[in-house]
Amino acid sequence: MRLLALLIVFGFALTLNAQKKVMQHEDKALWNRIRNTKISNSGANVLFAKEKGEKEQIIQLLDSKGEKIMSYKRSKGGSFTYDSKYVTFAVNAFKDSIKEMKRKKVKKKDLPKDTLMIYNIESKSLTKIPNVKAYKLPEKWSGIVAYTLESPNPKKKDKSKRKDTLKSKVKDSIKAKKKKLKKVSKENGYHLVIRHLETGVEDTLRYVHRYAIAKKGRHLVYATSGVVDSLGGGIYHYDVDKMKNTQLLSSHYKTKYPQLGISESGERVSFIVDSDSTKSLIKAPKLYAWTLGENQASVIVNSIDNNSKLYVSTDKSLQFSKNESRLFFGLRTKPIVQDTTLLDEEIVNVEVWTYDEPRLYTVQELDAKNDKKKSYLSLFDFNKNKLIQIANNDFDIARYSDEGNSNYAVIGNQTPYLLQSQWTAQRPMDMQLVDLNTGEHREIATKVYGGSSLSPKGKYLYGYSRKDSTWFTYNLETLKYKALTKGRQFYNELHDYPDDPYSYGSAGWTENDDKFLIYDRYDIWAFNPETGTSENLTNGRASYMRYRYVKLDDDERSIPANKTWMLSTFNEDNKYGGTASYDPKKKVLKQLMEGPNSFGGFIMAQNDKNNRMLFTKESFTEFPNLWVTNTSFKSPKQITDVNPQQREYNWGTAEMVEWTSLDGKLLQGMLIKPENFDPNKTYPMIVNFYEKSSNGLYRHRAPSYGRSTINYSFYASRGYVIFNPDVHYRDGYPGESAFNCVIPGVTMLIEKGFIDKDNIGVQGHSWGGYQIAYLVTKTDIFKAAESGAPVPNMISAYGGIRWWTGLSRQFQYEHTQSRIGGTPWEYPQRYVENSPIFNIDKINTPLLIMHNDADGHVPWYQGIEFFVSLRRLGKPSWFLNYNDEPHWPLKWQNRIDFNLRMSQFFDYYLKGAQKPMWMQRGVPALEKGINQGYDYVDVDKD
């Protein structure tokens, strides 16, 4: 008997040991995220950052088989050199040390600075360079890293590896002037070090304000204030291989150089000079240019004497055309300045809002910073020695193509239509064609709805007109317009807004602008831009298979005609993801991979004969780790496993469910069940939804401190079922539409017998928060509800402002998400019927409301209006306002707090847990930030 008892005890202990953990809030911090993923151009190595918690990063370098080569904590950034030989990244100081220094009131400038790390992959050696402010690598060549120092590094014995280009000048100047070297600072500039990676030789360029590295040529340009006040200031061209400086312009040490530009080859340089050291509010900068072989730079545009009486913009970047024959820059009007003699008490501070001005005053306020920098795109043609102003005050939107080599640009004017966009949300455009060789302007179209662009070679203007749901092309040479898809179904078939439908987008253009590839719901179509004839390349509609082109080269301008394309696939019926290939020569489509997963993160090695590439594969139970394969997708190999701890926890499963709405539509939704689900038991359920989410069935949802929604894996681990139903909307009746879709879905699940019908909650944010506020006025099926940033009163919200953009909210109700379809004076009953505030007395569901006082999407007084009305009626409700937070809490501590309070709220109502103190008596203002009220108090439940 004793032996039997021991065996029973031992067996019970084994069972306990084998049981998986139930996830706790603190466990969420254990989960890693993969960030900043890169594969070397050679394809031999993979670099990524493993991020945990509040952006705590570990950089990891692997070979293509997944073997770890190097790992480093506290890292940020991370890049391969173009030749794949080195990895560079930065390392932060210890976070705890920084916090302790901040507590001691150490000034920001005295806090520890970043360290630049250079890792040699072949030798496995690591070089550390402290006090680095920032660093850059050349984009399309190798051999150096350029970095700026916060302050000079401590002097060490240097075996002739460190060079100072201006060293002799420094000594001579000090002897002659008997002056000390300037301090390294923002005003004086920072030391720029060019380090040769193979040899370790460094060249220090002193007091550099800004610099630019050529994309392909082994050159850079930099601006310096000089080693001492009167020596060496100006612009220099630097030959990396020769370690040689060429002075392009000599200037006073206080001269400013707001913009630098360098061509791809590095053989052309341009820069803007502001030599006015006075406090004048109106400057007259000059634009200079230099070409390799010239003795010095020369002025090409002078703000004072150019014919247009415009000023060179110091805010517009300088961009050379691909063939380096043109320089694109900005011209601007004379700035408006204030009378500096006025005292503060003499300045009138009043906002004057005008009924017919194009932009609402709140938009103007937010745009003011950019408006002050506004400029008109212009070019300088070096071959013709000619300035051409492209854009102007009326037609201020400009586009050019073919990397600046094209013959034409298109300019647009939206101003006549800005006022109506307040309620339509659409900004049509009048358009003109500009000949970039002559400067001639020609009107080509008025009131064009929808976006438009230029084809890669600049032969066509193309776009999608939402007004007639038509893709079009416009030949810029013949001025011939062609409607490509008129009368055909290339618009969003599931569009359910009271507005013109959007398109499905396009894949792009084939080489030489020969074919334009357009998406419909499922397929890729190739259109002849001249004739409009088309060919379906994929034929996915019959099998509900969606095909989309995957761009694998960031430099790709056109889709290649002689290479096999990679496509992503998605089956709308079973939600399976996958990949496919298409041979444009043979017109052969081949499915490469398909399954109950989502696939993404495709990155291809650019100089690898084996065509190795990275991708991610995920499902509800599978984290999107990194996989290596080639373009055939044969024998893909998983190379990371960043969250092995997941196997220790109860998780859950995801499946698709279907039901019929109250108005007869077949609907789909996601159902998340706890691990080891038993259909003979009943489970509490939380309904969480927004609009349509079922296509994300195989998306992974790692534990996290979310900003606004429940975490599915966390709640499933704790024994909840989660239901996410799709909602289909009817214009004018968004609230009723949500009811007609969500409630029969909940009823369907109750009828299956495994849902505890007395313990069902509902949670959502923003648009989801509104719908929940509406639902609880119509049904008592939910025992508890969390409604984030809700709109209970559409009438008062209609005239509100979206403070992040300054836009009026009117368009949202008339044409977009809120789906009323008109104004309150056109459809007063619709506004009343869809506003929960008018039926708030019918609410019997306890509510947790979260609405923050810096919300720029939904006015937070809507949340207050909801709460104080519930409070007036004595309805159980709690209101969370995270001070100075926007639409969702962003600060880490606030996200943790919100997640904890929401789970305590649902656990109390749906699982019979104890009631926390904050729900029992609140958190008085005097205790704010001191006592959070998380503790439990034994009280009878309401």
User: Which helix (H) or strand (E) is 147 found in, with range?
Assistant: strand 144-149
Q: If we measure between CA atoms, which residue out of 659, 719, 663, 662 comes closest to residue 694?
A: 659
State the pLDDT at residue 18. Answer: 56
Task: Residue 777: count other Cβ atoms within 10 Å of its Cβ.
Answer: 20
pLDDT tens, position by position, 143-198? 999 999 987 654 554 444 666 655 545 444 445 455 567 889 999 999 999 999 99
**DSSP string covering 13-68, please?**
HHHHHHSPBPP-GGGGGG-EEEEEEEE-TTSSEEEEEEEETTTEEEEEEEETTS-E
Long-range contacts, 801-806 (Cβ 8 Å, 24+): 801/362, 801/859, 802/856, 802/857, 803/362, 803/855, 803/856, 803/859, 804/856, 804/857, 804/886, 805/363, 805/366, 805/856, 806/360, 806/362, 806/363, 806/364, 806/365, 806/366, 806/367
State the pLDDT at residue 7. Answer: 36
- Residue 263 tokens read as 């061509």
State the pLDDT at residue 450. Answer: 86
Quick check: helix, strand or coil at residue 696? helix
CB 885 within 8 A of CB 891: yes
Query: Rounded CA gap, 719 and 731, in Å?
Result: 38
First to last CA, the chain: 50
What kind of fold does domain 646-911 have according to CATH? Answer: Rossmann fold (3.40.50)
Which amino acid does the sequence have at 827? Y
- Residue 926 tokens read as 């005097």
Query: Rounded CA gap, 269 and 256, in Å?
Result: 16
Which amino acid does the sequence have at 172? D
Query: Rounded CA gap, 854 and 834, in Å?
Result: 25
Which amino acid does the sequence have at 548? R
- Residue 864 tokens read as 């207050």
122 backbone φψ class: left, alpha, beta (φ>0; ψ -120 to 50): alpha
Strands 637-638 and 784-788: unpaired
State the pLDDT at residue 93. Answer: 82
Query: What are the residue ranges in the chain where pLDDT is below 70?
Result: 1-18, 152-180, 229-231, 277-279, 281, 304-308, 938-942
Say which residue the tokens 């959070």 belong to: 932
Query: Rounded CA gap, 285 and 851, in Å?
Result: 48
State the pLDDT at residue 195. Answer: 98
pLDDT tens, position by position, 494-546? 999 999 999 999 999 999 999 999 999 999 999 999 999 999 999 999 999 99
Query: Rounded CA gap, 820 and 828, in Å?
Result: 10
Task: Residue 440: count other Cβ atoms within 10 Å of its Cβ.
Answer: 12
- Residue 469 tokens read as 């749901």
- Alpha carbon distances (Å) from 154 to 131, 151, 185: 10, 9, 17
State the pLDDT at residue 938. Answer: 47
